[in-house]
Structure 1
Amino acid sequence: MTVYWRSLFFTSPSIFILLTLVVATGLQGVALYGLKQQPWTGIQTRPDMASGHVRITGITPGSPAARQTDLHVGQQLVTLSTPTQSVELTSDGRDEYLSAPDYATLDQRLAQQTKLWKALTNAEPITLSTQDGRHATLTPQRHTPIGSIPGYVWLLLPLHVLLPLVGALVWLYKPHTLESTFLYLAGISYSFFGAVFCVLYQRELTLNPEWILLLTSLGNGSMFLLGMAVCAILTYYPQRVLGLEALLAYAGLWLGLSLNYHFRWVEAPLHIFIFQFLVLYAAMVLVSYRQWRAARQNPVNRVTLMVLHFSIQVPTGLTILLYAIPTTLGQEPYITPLVAHVFIISMFGGWVAGILRFRLFEAEYWCFKSLMWAFGGSLVIAADILLAGLLHLSGTYALGMALVVAGFVYFPLRQWLLGRFMPADRQSLQAFLPTFSASITQAVTPQAFEASWRETLRERFQPLHLEPVPADADGRIKLGDNGLHLLIPNLPGDQLYRITGKHLGAHLFGKADVAMAESLLAIARMVSAASEARRQAVQAERQRIMHDLHDTVGARLLTLSHELPQPEHKKAARETLQILRETVKLSLKQTPLRLGEHLADWRAETISRAEAAGVSLHWQTDEGLERLEIAPRQALELAHILRELVTNALKHAQPTQLHADFKPDGEGLEMAISHDGATTAPQEWQEGTGLSSLRRRLEIVQGTLECTHQAEQGQLRTTLTLPLQTA
């Protein structure tokens, strides 16, 4: 049976949620019961630190106090009297367990609460005396009507139920993980503490002293569990930074402090209740620092920490600054325990977002601005406390001086931090356009445009990695892995580029990066489409010219090959016609060609010319060249260059031997033409039409030419290297 229920609990989400709801609702039901057990006069009060008493803030209609004409809102209550005793109403009577600096003061306040409890529960009339000398006599009701419970209590109670439910949902979403388990424990613990808080703090004038001691201990225990859950989350998530021994040692320390508050073994330094929370906060700061150092190379973990620590450090830091420190120094706190309670509730939203890593790419800049806002406000408050405490200035003058001092420190520091820690992508699209234009407008072919697009992405986002991945059906720019990746289509849209780690992994991508990439992609595609349209127009015009050459000049050469009387003239006309046809054919080609086929044609033509000149030809090609491809334009220019070199050799050197060697050169081709005969050193040459034409063709194919003269052997060697552009 035990195994069955355990299996049902961990496998049925509905049972898990139901049990959580029952526990949390039951705790808040007990809190409502405790509130109803208070004696009721219908008077709402708040502490007045200036006078040391309490001030009336409201009187409930229909209550015992509503029938007293001597009581009205704004009066200060000084004493509560019965026929047998008189009890002073002090401003610190309702949060004695929070504000008492030592056990002696706590005992005095508990003794006061005992007297008030007896006075309000003995069914006798009581007399309330105000500071202006008025007296009002009334008989309190034994129990508080449920309708007179303050409205904010009805807002807090559902929140105390919601917190463990949120933890349960996160646990179901990420079951059996340490961070979700401790988040659930934190929700249950704070639901328990919230119920205790409502009874202790929302009571009217007093509460059973025995209840105060019991609820204080229970609240302290629930805060101990909450603090341990927070420290465990910070220690193990998103990565482990301390060992289990350190966590257990800290748990033992804080448990000892909590038990010491209950059993009163020794007086805690500074403050009997607040000291343990100062220790907790110092430990959280230390663990946060360790986590931050461990996440320097992981932007997702770093932003996760930013969300988690912002949601923890800011509320707890403000609570310590605005409540704990002034209370410890014996000054009036800037916020009430109720506001501090709401601060702590706000932590859970950040925990959920951090543990689920929900939309982290939106959190980085928002967290920075919020932290700076909190820092600015804290700086003003700290300066106000120091000026009022050390220089004994009046409140208004101290606040004005604090604003001036904080302004001179805060604004320069904010600008420095903004430039130092925040992403350097605040550059607008208009500011980046000149750099983008210089890169994209230099491209001519679709391949060059795509290379410029990749370079633009690298320059704009400075990623750790840029790799192509298959395109999905959507094809839009989108964020991936909580902003760790940015998926951007290529210019044709048939592939995606996955960019990882903005600014060398320092930051996550966000919505601003998506908008920037969309604008750049639209501009790049527009420029590429315009260039492609121009290229196609040029190609169409080239085709028209080639067809005209073929139809006019080709026809005339064909006629001449039949009409010329001399055989050598006929042969020259036929060779010219063949060159023209080859030029037209290659100029109209768009797809890569087999290099081996052209080598065979070039070999046949060169053999024919060498035999006609009585020259012995030695032609050598590597086998690997047969499988290589060459662009049509390169094939055409290379054929012209080979003819020009052979022509120069046969015309000027009258060689007996002609060598032609072809071999691969990395991803390119090396062609070497060497011959004997009447050769001279290249330094002695006079550049003519042949050399000028040769250089122009080499520029087109991006090739290089080197001529070497071997005087002792009487040979001239011309070596040409060029990259093979198959597209």
Structure 2
Amino acid sequence: MPRWLNTPITLPLTALALGLLMAAITVALTLGQPWMGLRLAASPEENAVVITAVAPTGPAAQAGAQPGAVLVALNGIALEADDLIEEPDMIESFDAFARFIARQDRLAQQLQGGGSILIALDEDEARALHPAPLRPLQTLPAAFWAQVLVGLFGFVAGSWVLGLRRSRAAAFLWLAGVGLLLSAHAAAIYSARELALPGAQFQMLSSLNHLGALGFGAGMIGLFLCYPVRLVPSRWQFLPGIALLIWWGANQLRLLPTPALGFQLPVALALAAIAVCVALQYRATRTDPRARAALRWLGLAVLIGAGAFVMTIIVPILLGFDAPLSQGFAFLFFLPIYAGLALGVARYRLFELEDWAFRILFYLAGMVMLLVLDASLIALIAMDRAPAFGLSLLAVSLLYLPLRDDIGRRLLRRRNDVSGQMFRAITDVALTPPDTSRIERWQALLTASFDPLRIEPMAETPPHVRLAEEGSVLEIPAVDTLPPQRLVWARGGRALYSLHDLARAEEMVTMLDQAAASRRAYEMGAAEERARIAQDMHDNIGIQLTGALHSGSAARKDALIRETLSDLRDIISNANRADLELEELLADLRATMGEHLSSVGIALDWKVVGAGPSRSEPRQAHALRSILREAVSNALRHSGASQVRVRVRISPDAVHVSVEDNGRGIGDAIPQPGGGNGLSNMRARANGMGGEVIITEIPGGGTRVEAVLPMASAGKAA
């Protein structure tokens, strides 16, 4: 066999070609019927056939037929409302069915005679009408095309799956598609007839319709007997199909009492069998979340699609009522089956199904309740259809819908919202020191939230929280110092992860990241505060104590110690005082440093020039005070100088400070960034404000410390 014949695309393409051929045959058989150019409707109350529309260029228009007229007879054959029955399965007995087929054959013979026919309108005289031999394509109703397309879609979709997966389950699905094709296309031909079809053709199409419907049921029962898991041995999987085939044969041989028992009953029983198989599969897949997700997807689609068709077409006829919906449009209910199939085979978001599956079933239950209640009121109370439907709708609205909402809230309740307890648990993880216990706490929190079958480490962190492997894995990225985690199977291995789980995990990760960021900010603030205190202790307290140590006056020593204690309180409390007068600050510094230097015999040359802002923020004042004190303290303790020269230049943008001494200088001992604590603190304070400190040796002896401290107002303007 050539390789191309064995590829997955071969069978779908072949099926598409056969399906299109079948559709073409269906269209050709429908168009091959003689055409009068009328759209007819039955009037059961008057047992009459009413003209609802006349084609402008059709034979009936030429004969003078008008919409609203009653078509009384055709070539002397009196017409009845039952002549326009869309689906002959509605007929109550086999004798009535035989009479219907015989009348269809007589009327079709009159239409196919090739000459003129006489039609009687109302009570007028008979009029001659010459039917066209072929029906125009544009006159085919929408219901016809709905049935043709549904049958074609079902057949091609089943073949597509069989081409992808050569398995027994796919073969059963293909059988269901073949049955849908036969049933829909056969029904399309006789339901789109203008008035009548030849009896033999009508009977054959009706038999094919029955065979296809039961074939669809046999395929779906067989499918759910072996998919997702095998419920019965292989040889028993064909038994439902054989039983339905025997039932079809008995119906064709008229061995059953009524047509309803011959066709509607086995179709209803087939749907019930499908529902039972889906329930058994649901129980059998309780330990396989992936198989259960696929079952939910396909099983729900089949129950909704086939169930809606059976409840709107088959069950009303079985109970003796008229179908509330045209059979042609009811075939559209089968589309969700194959739409769900396509999505299921593509494994597209199977994990999203759980929530809206319940919601769809709730709405389906409401529809069934509405139909049952409506039928019960008509049958038991003999109420007219319109009041019965209105009363049923009111009862469902007032009783079922509130109950549905309450049940939905209970069944679909999610632990989506992060509670106060969850917030505290996340905060505990964030505040735990980065060690093994922190990882254990995070994993314990994930376990409490999702109950995974196991948690595995990941070599690489994902970019964000995400679902993987068809929803069986939830990947958690690294957060702060916590490594990425891989959560395998939810609820102890009984379920896939849902979009609710994904949203919950994203919220947990976001909260943990924010809490960890807050902890880092707190730790950084604490470290900065400790550094500030260390700087202030060195810069301010050190020079104050040095001055007290060198002071020869007891009163002065006591005053310096009191100032030191006051500065110490300021350092500890970091008081957020109001802006200081710059002139007052510099005068205070001059007085303090002059006393310290004079106590050891060092002269102070102090000069302030320039003009700028009159006030200084506490941070800038503190930095200015610390830098001047540290520079003077170094000159006092290390330089052996006899004079210290201080120059302060104030500009609108910054305060420029220069401190020089005439001592021995520092030579190679000029500190670099990160060096000695005092001079390094000066640099750190200036850099923290966007300024700088430069330390140089003066040629001929001495040291110069220059600092630039930007004004706070300049920084804000920038």
Q: Above 0.5 in TM-score? A: yes
Q: Deviations over 1:291-317 (max 9, x none)?
A: 122123333333322222221112222
* Aligned partners of 2:222 and 2:237 also within 8 Å: yes
Q: Which moved more, 1:383-392 or 1:446-455?
A: 446-455
- Which whole-Å CA distance do the structure 2 matches of 1:482 and 1:423 have between them? 23
* 1:161 alignment counterpart: 152
Match of 2:449 among 450, 455, 460: 460
Specify the code of the residue in structure 1 equivalent to 2:306: T
- Which whole-Å CA distance do the structure 1 matches of 2:524 and 2:408 have between them? 49
Q: Which moved more, 1:356-365 or 1:197-206?
A: 356-365
Equivalence map 1:24-423=2 (5 Å):
24-72=19-67, 74-77=68-71, 79-82=72-75, 85-91=76-82, 93-129=84-120, 137-154=128-145, 156-172=147-163, 174-267=164-257, 270-423=260-413
- Which whole-Å CA distance do the structure 1 matches of 2:449 and 2:239 have between them? 48
Structure 1 residue 256 displacement after superposition: 0.7
How has the CA–CA distance of structure 1 residues 421 and 484 changed in structure 2, closer, same or farther, with 3 Å as cutoff? farther
Q: 3-state DSSP class of the match of 1:45? A: strand
Specify the code of the residue in structure 1 equivalent to 2:513: R
Q: 3-state DSSP class of the match of 1:470? A: coil
Task: Please state if 1:440 is matched with 2:404.
Answer: no
Q: Which moved more, 1:349-358 or 1:146-155?
A: 146-155
How has the CA–CA distance of structure 1 residues 53 and 337 changed in structure 2, closer, same or farther, with 3 Å as cutoff? farther
How has the CA–CA distance of structure 1 residues 441 and 24 changed in structure 2, closer, same or farther, with 3 Å as cutoff? same
* Aligned partners of 1:491 and 1:521 also within 8 Å: yes
* Percent identity between the two aligned chains: 22
Structure 1 residue 386 displacement after superposition: 0.5
- Which whole-Å CA distance do the structure 2 matches of 1:297 and 1:413 have between them? 31
The CA RMSD measured in Å over matched residues stands at 3.2
* 1:470 alignment counterpart: 459
- Which whole-Å CA distance do the structure 2 matches of 1:366 and 1:493 have between them? 38
Equivalence map 1:508-587=2 (5 Å):
508-536=496-524, 538=526
Specify the code of the residue in structure 2 equivalent to 1:440: T
* Aligned partners of 1:304 and 1:354 also within 8 Å: yes
* Aligned partners of 1:440 and 1:453 also within 8 Å: no
Specify the code of the residue in structure 2 equivalent to 1:514: L
Q: Which moved more, 1:365-374 or 1:160-169?
A: 160-169
* Aligned partners of 1:179 and 1:355 also within 8 Å: no
Structure 1 residue 385 displacement after superposition: 1.0
Structure 1 residue 334 displacement after superposition: 0.7
- Which whole-Å CA distance do the structure 2 matches of 1:366 and 1:131 have between them? 54
Specify the code of the residue in structure 1 equivalent to 2:17: V
Structure 2: gaps of 5 or more residues: 539-718
Structure 1 residue 116 displacement after superposition: 0.8
Q: 3-state DSSP class of the match of 2:325? A: coil
* 1:611 alignment counterpart: none
How has the CA–CA distance of structure 1 residues 106 and 380 changed in structure 2, closer, same or farther, with 3 Å as cutoff? same
Structure 1 residue 549 displacement after superposition: 12
How has the CA–CA distance of structure 1 residues 383 and 159 changed in structure 2, closer, same or farther, with 3 Å as cutoff? closer
- Which whole-Å CA distance do the structure 2 matches of 1:119 and 1:230 have between them? 43
Q: Which moved more, 1:518-527 or 1:134-143?
A: 134-143
* Aligned partners of 1:171 and 1:184 also within 8 Å: yes
Specify the code of the residue in structure 2 equivalent to 1:303: A
* Aligned partners of 2:117 and 2:129 also within 8 Å: yes
How has the CA–CA distance of structure 1 residues 501 and 396 changed in structure 2, closer, same or farther, with 3 Å as cutoff? same
How has the CA–CA distance of structure 1 residues 33 and 46 changed in structure 2, closer, same or farther, with 3 Å as cutoff? same
Specify the code of the residue in structure 1 equivalent to 2:500: A
- Which whole-Å CA distance do the structure 1 matches of 2:57 and 2:332 have between them? 30
Q: 3-state DSSP class of the match of 1:272? A: helix
Q: 3-state DSSP class of the match of 1:176? A: coil
- Which whole-Å CA distance do the structure 2 matches of 1:293 and 1:17 have between them? 33
Q: Which moved more, 1:227-236 or 1:188-197?
A: 188-197
- Which whole-Å CA distance do the structure 2 matches of 1:339 and 1:155 have between them? 6
Structure 1 residue 513 displacement after superposition: 2.8
Q: Deviations over 1:474-523 (max 9, x none)?
A: 42211123323211113148843222343445553233332332232122
Structure 1 residue 192 displacement after superposition: 3.3
- Which whole-Å CA distance do the structure 2 matches of 1:155 and 1:505 have between them? 43
How has the CA–CA distance of structure 1 residues 154 and 301 changed in structure 2, closer, same or farther, with 3 Å as cutoff? same
* 2:14 alignment counterpart: 19
- Which whole-Å CA distance do the structure 1 matches of 2:379 and 2:534 have between them? 95
- Which whole-Å CA distance do the structure 2 matches of 1:92 and 1:325 have between them? 23
Match of 2:487 among 480, 484, 499: 499
Structure 1 residue 197 displacement after superposition: 2.2
Q: Deviations over 1:621-667 (max 9, x none)?
A: xxxxxxxxxxxxxxxxxxxxxxxxxxxxxxxxxxxxxxxxxxxxxxx
Q: 3-state DSSP class of the match of 1:498? A: strand
* 2:641 alignment counterpart: none
Structure 1 residue 373 displacement after superposition: 1.1
Specify the code of the residue in structure 1 equivalent to 2:155: P
Structure 1 residue 277 displacement after superposition: 0.6
Q: Deviations over 1:414-470 (max 9, x none)?
A: 134324433533x434xx255323542462313455444333323333334333233
- Which whole-Å CA distance do the structure 2 matches of 1:151 and 1:404 have between them? 32
* Aligned partners of 1:80 and 1:126 also within 8 Å: no
* Aligned partners of 2:91 and 2:259 also within 8 Å: no
Specify the code of the residue in structure 2 equivalent to 1:224: L
- Which whole-Å CA distance do the structure 1 matches of 2:291 and 2:276 have between them? 17
- Which whole-Å CA distance do the structure 1 matches of 2:313 and 2:244 have between them? 20
How has the CA–CA distance of structure 1 residues 54 and 330 changed in structure 2, closer, same or farther, with 3 Å as cutoff? farther
Equivalence map 1:681-720=2 (5 Å):
none
Specify the code of the residue in structure 2 equivalent to 1:528: A
Structure 1 residue 341 displacement after superposition: 1.6
- TM-score, normalised with respect to structure 1: 0.67
How has the CA–CA distance of structure 1 residues 138 and 163 changed in structure 2, closer, same or farther, with 3 Å as cutoff? same
* Aligned partners of 1:491 and 1:525 also within 8 Å: yes
Q: Which moved more, 1:149-158 or 1:199-208?
A: 149-158
* Aligned partners of 1:471 and 1:494 also within 8 Å: no
Q: 3-state DSSP class of the match of 1:486? A: strand
Structure 1 residue 62 displacement after superposition: 1.1
* 1:619 alignment counterpart: none
Structure 1 residue 264 displacement after superposition: 2.2
- Which whole-Å CA distance do the structure 1 matches of 2:82 and 2:469 have between them? 53
How has the CA–CA distance of structure 1 residues 13 and 316 changed in structure 2, closer, same or farther, with 3 Å as cutoff? closer
How has the CA–CA distance of structure 1 residues 463 and 104 changed in structure 2, closer, same or farther, with 3 Å as cutoff? same
* Aligned partners of 2:289 and 2:495 also within 8 Å: yes
